[in-house]
Chains A and B, each alone.
Chain A
Amino acid sequence: MNAHRSVLARTVSTPALLILLLLAIALVAKLFGSGPFERTVTELFIRIVLVVGLYIFIGNSGVMSFGHVGFMCLGAYGTAWLTIPPAMKKFALTGLPDFILQHQAPIALSLVLSPLLAAVFALLIGRILMRLAGIAASIATFAMLAVINTVYSNWETVTGATSSVVGIPMKTGVWLSFGGALFAVIVGYGYGISRYGLALRSARDEAIAAAASGVDIERQRLIAFVISAFVIGVAGVLYAHFLGVVNPDAFYLNLTFISLAMLVVGGMNSLSGAVIGVVAISAMIEILRALEKGIPVGEAMLAIPNGVQEIAIGIAMIVILIFRPSGLMRNRELRWSRWPFERTSENK
């Protein structure tokens, strides 16, 4: 069957379908949505950037990482340092270098520089961590997250310690976050079909055979680690400009686990799985939240008790994993091989 698919269908259809799906969500939010719904969709897109970033490393390398949310923290604080107006920075973050204290960068610049900070950090620490494999690597990435969290929670003059850093311009709306998701999907897919992505996946499936065929596993992992750090750094920047405040504990265990859960529920070995997982779990959360607030049934309001929402999410995740252990997408990509990609007998 594969032989009949055109090359175009195989390379373009997956990202195209995913982008169309995201575009549809963005349009629905813009055309019909209210303010709160737009915020929900913005948050959804930011989560997609994060989870696709996770997929770039975890999905392709097969190494579970508990540390990537740390890069989101770096990105978010990076943009806080760059974009908070100097008048506010002077008092809150006295430890910053003078040049940064006196200037304010536009978000466009920060969207490049702050993720770059995360990527450079990933390059430095990745050279050490990528020597490890399997569960030792997972623990080491978690230790990295814990180090980042401890430093950011205590470095009073530069990060404001555990108190929130305020005054970040709130610029992230539906379209900016959609742009972020677009970027993540394209980078994720482009990396996946590049020689580096193929080499890393071969190492994931058969490490010994890959190494024997000349794949430098450590190097390939490092490349994926740095790219995913950059993408997740973008998620951090968008998130900071979405909320307007950053706080180190926003980027710790809760976010780590919920983003990993989205990845695994969707199916951690495919890009489509990463995107579908975020959409599915976010949709479930929103529906249950709406139920918690109550829906009018005739005269009365029918509402589920507070706290049931989280429990129901947990149960739903377990049920999905029991029936689909390899995730909703079963590790496959969304594909479209009919019009306009179909190969008819004339052009054979």
Chain B
Amino acid sequence: MTAILQIVFDALSLGSIYALGALGIALIFGVMRLVNFAHGDYISFCVFAMLVPSTDAMSEMFLGSLPTVVLVPVILLIGAGVSVLSEIVVFRRLRDANPATMMIASFALGFILKHFLLMLFSSRPKSINLWPDLSLPVEILGARLPLLQLIAIGITIIILVALSAFLKQTRFGLEMRAAAENFTMARMLGVKANRVILIAFAISGMLAASIGLLLAAQTGTADIQMGVSVMLVAFIATVIGGLGSLAGAVVAGYLIGAASVLMQVILPLEARPFRDAFVYAAVIACLIWRPQGLFAPKSAKQRV
């Protein structure tokens, strides 16, 4: 029983990270058909913004030394800022380009961000000591769980609820959903394209920042590669969930998290190093089964 509980919480906390990432990618894809490969580098950028630039293995806190109540909003703002800036400087100029061109531009942007961080911090992973009190274990129904895992799950749920309230209840949310459904039609009905896209980028950047905070606290390391691996899984989750469907992206994020944790437990010992191969094979199987995604919106259905 406690073992099962442990697995459930592991799956939920890993899935939370993937779900937040998938949501950030799906938001941008919804409004401008851009697969934003720079998203992972936004995550790394937010993590490294907490540190003093140096090439040592031990890190000194820079923004990270701020009290939590200030730190969290500041990092969220940085995430939103990087994301909005990239839209204004790069993606706005590529509005009419084909998706492949935009995707490669986003990759080039991520490349720039990554090498900017490499220049300041070197490629060595650094230890980062964020909220050490939270890694103490707590006991729930006999299972010992790190408090942080529970907080991560809780925060993700709060973010998801807040975001869905924003999308359902506010005017901006309505505009964004309309734009995701049919961008041309939404513009004709008075939705301002630039404003909707900017808001989408800002929210997406804040989601990246929150992933950065959660990852930094959970793993205790700051690694330039950390964002990219999350981004890739998140990207897969958006496609499996059905491109354009935000709820689908979240569910698929949790599903991939659960699949990874479950396979770690179920697979025989000698096959365990190959876990990722099984996860990705499952991804292919899932795509063959439902190419349009698990929760494809009506607008994505091919008519012929």
Contact = CB atoms under 8 A, between A and B. Distances in A.
A313 B111 CA distance: 9
A321 B98 contact: no
Contact residues of B: prevailing secondary structure: helix
Contacts of B116: 307, 311
Interface string A125-145: 000110111011001101110
Contacts of A128: 284, 288
Contact of A321 (B108, B115, B277): B108
Contacts of B276: 146-147, 150
Interface string B76-115: 0000000000000010011011101101110111011001
B11 interface: no
Contact of A253 (B108, B228, B288): B228
A139 B239 contact: yes
A184 interface: no
A260 interface: yes
Nearest to B229: A253
Contacts of B291: 131-133, 136
Contacts, number: 124
A310 B94 CA distance: 22
B280 A135 contact: no
Interface stretch (A91-99, A218-226, A261-269, A293-301): A261-269
A205 to B, nearest CB: 13
Nearest to A309: B115
Given A64-B103, A147-B277, A150-B277, A140 B111 contact: no
Interface in A278-321: 305-308, 310-311, 313-315, 317-318, 321
Given A147-B277, A151-B274, A260 B104 contact: yes
B25 to A, nearest CB: 12
A305 B293 CA distance: 46
A226 B93 CA distance: 36
A170 B243 CA distance: 46
Contact of A150 (B280, B288, B292): B280
Interface of A: 64, 128-129, 131-133, 135-136, 139-140, 142-144, 146-147, 150-151, 154, 208, 253, 257, 260-261, 264-265, 268, 305-308, 310-311, 313-315, 317-318, 321-322, 325-327
Given A129-B284, A325-B96, 7 more contacts: A135-B243, A140-B284, A143-B281, A150-B276, A310-B112, A317-B111, A322-B90
Interface of B: 35, 37, 90, 93-94, 96-98, 100-101, 103-105, 107-109, 111-112, 115-116, 118-119, 228, 232, 235-236, 239-240, 243, 273-277, 280-281, 283-284, 287-288, 291-293, 304
